A and B are shown apart, each in its own frame.
Chain A
């Protein structure tokens, strides 16, 4: 029995009231723009506590099974709660990797023990998760990952390093792709997948400064780190399939995520407002015909992407290529966001040159920082170029690129 419209409407009212009452005040320090940019303890603790509060109120993981700490309700409720978080521009849920990809993965194919151990603590932010896929020499070519996991009895010994590990400095667990066999026919067959602890001897995350000047991710070194073989998820040698499954959650091709916002939202209307204040030739920039054309293009694209999400739910309107919209979503949305931020910067005229920290920077330099940080979306999780290969091959049926 699905929830009635009335129940959903009542829920919307309730959740809306809760967020407007409980939305945290401006903490007085700069918050990160997404989970990939958490760089200070202060930021981390603030965001972790906020996620905990939202979970305790019942607005996170609403559709995850109740026996593991979820709400056991219909997805529609979580969608409403998430939409309300976006609308009220509340801070994001920082445990994204747990909530949006490790969690759904564990629920999808983890053992009973793994579900019991991890799911609730992901929701409450008691355990923070990170992802160990990329390596210094193997990024887009994920299947070539070389970090070694060697079995010794009922343990694996890990050696090598992962890099660009978002939240690496804070994480309790890592979803880790490692090579358990170097003698296989194809590079893909030698990989295995682990839910590994981070806070053990031999695992050392070293912070890396990102282009904005802040810290965000780490290089994560593994030196004879020992983990139990019960950390494995999927078959030994079957890590590639688990990684591919993970990416369907990460790129929002599959559903099952816990919900919640995961980055500071941006909207084209904010840029429209900025265009009212910015000046061109002695007049508000919003009167400039070329700027008007650009603003309308951003508004159109924003709406087109939102409408895509609606249409993707209507089988009769996606019959020819059912996966097309979902498979291209990461590409389209991250590229839109990058271009919007870039446009918002140039709109500021000479003031575009100011940066975060300068008292006169427009909106505190948020757009400059936002433009830089937008590359996290167009690079992280598989670059836009790789996404185009994937859409070209799997949606359009074109042959693999060499």
Chain B
């Protein structure tokens, strides 16, 4: 067995997790999740305001910029319970945008944006493009520089919660190299955002047309740090998705167990049949390993060893993706024809699992990169 087995979990994390669990359970019972899907709108503003008031948007933002100066491990501890309750919010995107500004922005950008993001301003990420490549440096969107502005062209996809966002973190190619810039919602022409129909209906996803949009040069993050920043965004997104998926797995396992303990066939609760019981144990075992990888990744993520962090987070994403896929797939099957219905909650989790797997790399993709890190 490997010796790189370190997990730290602070009292702070434990408290945040407890609060986030009761918050998510009360704000996001499954009927509220379904109402939200039908409403097609943004997350209810008062839920977002409460998250801001709880300080969750500034967790990983330093105190000097209005945050609480904790780390990503604390964010993970609240994202997991949200995932369990299928609560969908711009929290992860806003946290990621803040991290990018913190890591790759200049002083002016930091002092302008970070306090706002800590206080409840919604940020959206515009990183993915129509080609669907998980490599965030594969950029077809461009920025052309004139004297004090940049003119953009191209389009972005899977920009979640874009309608709520006041600022977008956008990746483009500038002189053939990756660059990140901040586009304010106010500068978007009408019709730049178009709602996408996506597999996870709890997500409000948009495409963003950048053609002709002008951005002041002051909104460009210093270009020499952009590639590193993109990589960090990608890996941090993987960490949050792993957390969301671990939560989702716990949720779907419980939904399935409840059915296995109430539905009877052939005079027995169906949960007594090993053909169902044993795969449920496989799902549990998959979840336990995913959570162990997750909290290890959260422990080492911002540590001194960058390669170790990358290995840990890719393992966490890969394990969570495969285990959540299994647990939610079996959830449909084990509900019989009811599992085939829109009314059965299994589909909510299966759709969630597919989204989370498909954003920022599936299991095979991360294992391929892990192979490079571990075998060569």
Contacts and interface: CB of A to CB of B under 8 A. Distances in A.
A314 B13 CA distance: 12
Contacts of A400: 272
A392 B291 contact: no
B265 interface: no
Interface string A102-119: 000000000000000000
Contact of B367 (A297, A314, A316, A332): A297
Contacts of B261: 397-399
B289 interface: yes
Contact of A392 (B281, B293, B370): B281
A309 B292 CA distance: 9
A297 to B, nearest CB: 7
B257 interface: yes
B368 interface: yes
A209 interface: no
Main SS at interface, chain B? helix
Interface string B285-299: 100111111011000
Question: How many of chain B's residues touch chain A, expressed as a range?
Answer: 35 or more
A303 B7 contact: no
A399 B292 contact: no
B149 interface: no
B257 A317 contact: no
B374 A299 contact: yes
Contacts of A275: 375
A296 B288 contact: no
Interface string A378-402: 0000000100110111011111111
A142 B162 CA distance: 61
Nearest to B273: A401
Contact of A328 (B3, B284, B318, B374): B284
Contact of A303 (B250, B269, B315): B315
A314 B7 contact: yes
Contacts of B257: 396-398
A353 interface: no
Among A304, A331, A399, A402, which residue has the most Cβ atoms of chain B within 10 A? Answer: A304
Interface stretch (A123-131, A213-221, A286-294, A359-367): A286-294
Given A300-B315, A398-B272, A307 B7 contact: yes
Contacts of A328: 281, 284-285, 288
Interface in A281-336: 286, 289, 292-293, 295-297, 299-311, 314, 316-317, 320-321, 324-325, 328, 331-332
Contacts of B17: 316
Nearest to A332: B285
Q: Which of A272, A296, A388, A402 gathers most chain B CB within 10 Å?
A: A296
Contacts of A272: 374-375
A267 interface: yes
A62 to B, nearest CB: 20
Contacts of A303: 1-2, 4-5, 293, 296, 315
Contacts of A309: 5
Given A292-B371, A303-B293, A385-B278, A395 B272 contact: no
Contact of B289 (A308, A388, A401): A308
B374 to A, nearest CB: 6
A396 B280 contact: yes
A378 B280 CA distance: 19
Contacts of B288: 308, 311, 324-325, 328
B68 to A, nearest CB: 19
B274 interface: yes
Nearest to B276: A398
A31 B319 CA distance: 36
Contacts of A402: 268, 272
B271 interface: yes
B5 A296 contact: no
A157 interface: no
A86 interface: yes
A320 B287 CA distance: 12
B367 A401 contact: no
A398 B277 contact: yes
Nearest to A335: B285
B277 A401 contact: yes
Contacts of A302: 1-2
A385 B17 CA distance: 35
Given A311-B291, A328-B285, A392-B277, 5 more contacts: A289-B371, A292-B368, A314-B7, A332-B289, A398-B260
12 contacts: A296-B374, A300-B370, A304-B290, A305-B1, A306-B3, A311-B288, A311-B295, A314-B295, A389-B274, A392-B277, A392-B280, A396-B277
Top 6 closest pairs, chain A to chain B, by CB = A304-B289, A307-B292, A316-B14, A398-B271, A392-B277, A292-B371
